[in-house]
């Protein structure tokens, strides 16, 4: 017996190395992709909860103020905990979606396979949605290009204005393309946001389920089922939270007049507050002037009735 | 023409044929008499006895494999009405209930190279078994004595895993397993789990983990879980995938800190 064991150990040590370096790297990429997905999912959960406060514009503004009071640290937080994980996750996610897989949920229409397919479909929907969402609302989207080039066509970005949080969000989602909410482009925006929220919630909840298998947390069929029910519950809760958030700025959203960007004579950037990180400020001198604006709270007070009165 | 006595029931079969490994596939239609107990292998055998298509042409009989005729060898695995199954245990009656009125379509498995008609080359599975050392060492030039004991509890877990007949159904149904990648697939994860549990297979467990965490290994599983749904031997493949995922987590930590 003992000798049998020794015999095999010896075999193992001289065995040809089938595991390529490439495969090992791939293994770690996949695990990091999983962690990044979970980290980003955590952000999405918080993001949806904060946005659900949009049913009350003042409450929403207070939440936004809390975030923007992070000042220059906000950029660090955003980069480390949101954009970096998202970037890693999306890059590997696109690879995993495209890597020669043959979707077959038509012939094998089992629940698991439908979820597998939806995980990839929602990933692609999210790619489109997040690109649009970030480009238009975030200050690192088209607004960053405007900051660097002063290209007039982009002067309306970012659509989200922290000091007029509620009114600017409604404008950015419900009526970005003119005052008439029934204009087709506005309707597409509203529908895209609902689709984006639901896609994110499904992808997040189902990702929670697959991550547990990938890491070997859930092993038996019954454990996978049990955890699946937890994920389903998480999904339902966040689908409700997300839908409330969506409704706050769309069907329940009241458009309010927004002050023009130059209202306070400090240039567009003043109202953004100190949001750029120190290294970025040093690297791009133009930005440093903008970075020391008035604080978020002062701005909302100054803006007064121009902000969304609720 | 079928005589009136036999013509009580016949069914139309559409078979995807291919003459050589490199030639193009083409469909041929046959009308075959059936009995209540007909299975797909028996229909193929009937066609072989009289290989005449529905439009009356004499053709070479479709080539197919079958051996045990009782769903234990896996050789007759093919794609029937769009789903992978064993021809010998697929009852025509069931197929007719599944899609009443429509013909039965029969194709070779799509994830393995076709040799001829319904016969495919599944040697990739055997190569993969070799890659993960799916064996336990037995006596060599001298007697190693009696093997270690396996408890009934271990046996309870291991026996279902040992039933794999390498039919390839789990791989055929897996969206991550394609002809041009080198994903190992559910069968291999389950066999690796089996041999890692086996007292005599344990010494090679680390070597197996190296392969399973390498190219085409557990990394590429996308959790569609089709494998467990189509496996004719009811092997808990998704549990095996979870076990290998857990072993990979543990092994990677172990390797990081102590190898
Ligand atoms: C924007 C484009 C995105 C793409 C293309 C994408 C793609 C993917 C793919 C293909 C998987 C399955 C990986 C596998 O099982 O092998 C996956 C898993 C996952 N995704 Fe995404 N995703 C995207 C965005 C997101 C977002 C917005 C979230 C958070 C809400 C997220 C969270 C997750 C989680 C938690 C997993 C599970 C990881 C695991 O199975 O271990 N993803 N993603
Ligand atoms: S695990 Fe099941 S489906 Fe896969 S090869 Fe073995 S018997 Fe066939
Ligand atoms: S002939 Fe052996 S499984 Fe069908």
**How far off is chain B from A210, nearest CA to CA, in Å?**
7
- Among protein residues, the one with the nearest Cα to ligand 1's atom 8 is A93
For chain B, list the domains and their CATH numbers. Answer: 4-120 (3.10.20.30), 123-257 (1.10.1060.10)
- Chain A residues inside the 8 Å CB shell of B226: 104, 108, 110, 112-113
Mean pLDDT of chain B, nearest integer: 93
Whether A14 is in a domain gets the answer no
Residues paired with B15 in a beta bridge: B28, B106
Give residue-wise pLDDT tens across range B5-27.
444 589 999 999 999 999 999 99
Contact A34, A214 (CB under 8 A): yes
Nearest residue of A to residue B157, measured between CA atoms: A220
Residue A310, pLDDT > 60, answer no
Q: Using alpha carbons, select from B26, B112, B22, B102 the residue that is nearest to residue B62.
A: B26
Whether A161 is in a domain gets the answer yes
Where would I find the beta strands (DSSP E) of A43-143?
Answer: none
Task: Specify the number of domains making up chain A.
Answer: 1
What spatial distance separates the first Cα and last Cα of chain A, rounded to whole Å?
80
pTM for this entry? 0.86
- Chain A residues inside the 8 Å CB shell of B172: none
Q: Is the pLDDT higher at B237 or at A297? A: B237
pLDDT of residue B8: 57
Provide mean pLDDT across the span A207-219: 97
Report residue A304's pLDDT band, with 50, 70 and 90 as the boundaries: very low
Whether A5 is in a domain gets the answer no
Residue B97, pLDDT > 80, answer yes
CA–CA separation, A52 vs A96, rounded Å? Answer: 32
Provide mean pLDDT across the span A286-300: 38
Q: Using alpha carbons, select from A255, A292, A66 the residue that is nearest to residue A162.
A: A66
- A115 within ligand 1 shell (Cβ under 6 A): no
Q: In CATH, what number is assigned to the domain containing residue A82?
A: 1.20.1300.10
pLDDT of residue B5: 46
Provide mean pLDDT across the span B77-100: 96
Provide mean pLDDT across the span A111-136: 96
Residues contacting residue A116 through CB under 8 Å, at least 6 positions apart: A105, B175, B222, B223, B224, B225
H or E element at residue A210 = helix A184-214
As a whole-number percent, the residues of chain B with pLDDT over 90 amount to: 85
Residue A247, pLDDT > 90, answer yes
- B66 within ligand 3 shell (Cβ under 6 A): yes
Q: Using alpha carbons, select from B210, B213, B21 the residue that is nearest to residue B133.
A: B210
Q: Is the pLDDT higher at B119 or at A283? A: B119
pLDDT of residue A45: 97
Whether A301 is in a domain gets the answer yes
pLDDT of residue B40: 98
Residue A207, pLDDT > 60, answer yes
Q: Using alpha carbons, select from B239, B245, B136 the residue that is nearest to residue B196.
A: B136
Provide mean pLDDT across the span B142-153: 87
Provide mean pLDDT across the span A118-137: 96
Ligand that lies nearest to the alpha carbon of residue B118, given by its number in the listed order: 3
Half-sphere exposure of A209 (CA within 13 A, CB side): 28
User: H helices within chain B, ranges in order?
Assistant: 40-49, 92-98, 123-131, 152-162, 169-173, 186-197, 205-212, 226-230, 237-258
Provide mean pLDDT across the span A98-127: 93
- B45 within ligand 3 shell (Cβ under 6 A): no
Residue A148, pLDDT > 80, answer yes
Provide mean pLDDT across the span B119-137: 94
CA–CA separation, A59 vs A62, rounded Å? Answer: 5
pLDDT of residue A156: 86
Q: Do A221 and B238 touch (CB under 8 A)?
A: yes
Contact B13, B104 (CB under 8 A): yes
Provide mean pLDDT across the span A21-30: 89
A286 vs A88, A289, B194, B242, CA distance in Å? 29, 6, 64, 53
Long-range contacts of A286-293 (CB under 8 A, 24+ apart): A286/A147, A286/A148, A287/A147, A290/A147, A291/A72, A293/A266, A293/A269
Q: Which of B137, B145, B238 sits opposite A7 (nearest CB)?
A: B137
Provide mean pLDDT across the span B222-230: 97
Report residue A262's pLDDT band, with 50, 70 and 90 as the boundaries: low
Whether A79 is in a domain gets the answer yes
**How far off is chain A from B75, nearest CA to CA, in Å?**
21
pLDDT of residue A19: 60
Whether A4 is in a domain gets the answer no
Q: Is A19 helix (H, G, I), strand (E, B) or coil?
A: coil
Tokens of A274: 């100190």
Lowest mean pLDDT among A46-50, A274-278, B237-241: A274-278
Structural domain for A175, as ranges: 21-305
Lowest mean pLDDT among A260-274, B170-184, B227-241: A260-274
A123-A47-A248 Cα angle (round to 5): 100
Q: Do A20 and B216 touch (CB under 8 A)?
A: no
Contact B38, B94 (CB under 8 A): no
Q: Is B11 helix (H, G, I), strand (E, B) or coil?
A: strand
Residue B216, pLDDT > 80, answer yes
Residue A298, pLDDT > 60, answer no
Mean pLDDT of chain A, nearest integer: 82
Provide mean pLDDT across the span A101-113: 92
As a whole-number percent, the residues of chain A with pLDDT over 70 amount to: 78
Ligand that lies nearest to the alpha carbon of residue B163, given by its number in the listed order: 2
- Among protein residues, the one with the nearest Cα to ligand 2's atom 2 is B231
The atom number, within ligand 3, closest to the CA of B88 reads 4
Whether A3 is in a domain gets the answer no
Residue A250, pLDDT > 50, answer yes
Half-sphere exposure of A163 (CA within 13 A, CB side): 28
3-state secondary structure A118-133: HHHHHHHHHHHHHHHH
pLDDT of residue A100: 65
For ligand 1, mutation pick of A46, A133, A207 (most atoms within 8 Å of CB): A207
Whether A11 is in a domain gets the answer no
CA–CA separation, A58 vs B259, rounded Å? Answer: 57
Report residue B124's pLDDT band, with 50, 70 and 90 as the boundaries: very high
Burial of B22 (0-12, 13-18, 19+ CB in 10 A): exposed
What's the A207 CA to ligand 1 centre distance in angstroms?
6
CA–CA separation, A212 vs A226, rounded Å? Answer: 11
């Amino acid at each position: 017996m003992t000798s049998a064991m020794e015999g095999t150990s010896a075999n193992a040590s001289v065995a040809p190395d089938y595991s390529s370096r490439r495969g090992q790297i791939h293994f770690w990429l996949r695990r990091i992709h999983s962690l990044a997905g979970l980290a980003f999912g955590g952000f999405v959960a918080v993001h949806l909860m904060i946005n659900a406060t949009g049913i009350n514009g003042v409450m929403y503004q207070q939440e936004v103020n809390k975030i923007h009071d992070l000042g220059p640290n906000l950029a660090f937080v955003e980069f480390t905990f949101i954009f970096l994980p998202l970037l890693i996750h999306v890059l590997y996610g696109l690879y995993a979606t495209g890597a020669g897989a043959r979707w077959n949920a038509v012939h094998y229409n089992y629940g698991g396979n439908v979820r597998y397919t939806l995980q990839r479909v929602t990933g692609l929907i999210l790619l489109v949605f997040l690109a649009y969402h970030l480009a238009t609302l975030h200050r690192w989207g088209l607004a960053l290009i405007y900051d660097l080039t002063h290209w007039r066509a982009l002067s309306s970005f970012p659509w989200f204005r922290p000091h007029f949080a509620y009114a600017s969000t409604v404008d950015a989602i419900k009526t970005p393309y003119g005052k008439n909410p029934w204009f087709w482009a506005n309707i597409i925006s509203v529908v895209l946001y609902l689709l984006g929220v639901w896609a994110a919630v499904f992808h997040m909840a189902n990702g929670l389920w697959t991550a547990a298998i990938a890491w070997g947390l859930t092993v038996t069929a019954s454990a996978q089922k049990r955890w699946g029910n937890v994920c389903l519950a998480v999904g339902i809760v966040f689908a409700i939270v997300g839908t409330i958030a969506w409704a706050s700025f769309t069907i329940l959203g009241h458009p309010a007049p927004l002050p023009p960007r130059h209202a306070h004579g400090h240039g567009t950037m003043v109202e953004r507050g100190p949001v750029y990180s120190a290294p970025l400020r040093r690297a791009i001198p133009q930005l440093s002037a903008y970075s020391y604006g008035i604080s978020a709270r002062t701005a909302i007070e100054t803006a007064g009735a121009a902000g969304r009165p609720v | 023409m079928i005589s009136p006595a036999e013509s009580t029931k016949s069914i139309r079969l559409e078979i995807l044929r291919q003459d050589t490994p490199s030639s193009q596939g083409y469909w041929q239609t046959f009308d075959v008499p059936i009995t209540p107990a007909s299975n797909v292998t028996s229909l193929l055998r009937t066609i072989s006895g009289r290989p005449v298509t529905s439009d009356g042409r004499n053709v070479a009989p479709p080539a197919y494999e079958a051996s045990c005729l009782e769903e234990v060898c896996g050789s007759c695995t093919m794609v029937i009405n769009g789903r992978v199954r064993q021809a010998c245990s697929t009852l025509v009656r069931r197929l007719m209930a599944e899609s009443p009125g429509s013909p039965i379509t029969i194709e070779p498995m799509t994830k393995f190279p076709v040799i001829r008609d319904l016969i495919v080359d599944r040697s990739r599975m055997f190569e993969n078994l070799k890659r993960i050392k799916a064996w336990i060492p037995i006596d060599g030039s001298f007697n190693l004595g009696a093997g270690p004991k396996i408890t009934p509890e271990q046996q309870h877990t291991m026996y279902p895993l040992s039933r794999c007949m390498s039919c390839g159904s789990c791989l055929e149904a897996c969206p991550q397993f394609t002809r041009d990648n080198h994903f190992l697939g559910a069968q291999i994860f389950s066999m690796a789990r089996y041999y890692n549990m086996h007292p005599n297979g344990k010494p090679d467990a680390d070597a197996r983990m190296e392969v399973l965490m390498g190219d085409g290994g557990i990394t590429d599983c996308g959790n569609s879980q089709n494998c467990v749904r189509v496996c004719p031997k009811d092997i808990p493949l998704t549990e095996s995938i979870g076990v290998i995922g857990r072993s990979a987590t543990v092994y990677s930590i172990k390797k990081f800190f102590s190898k």
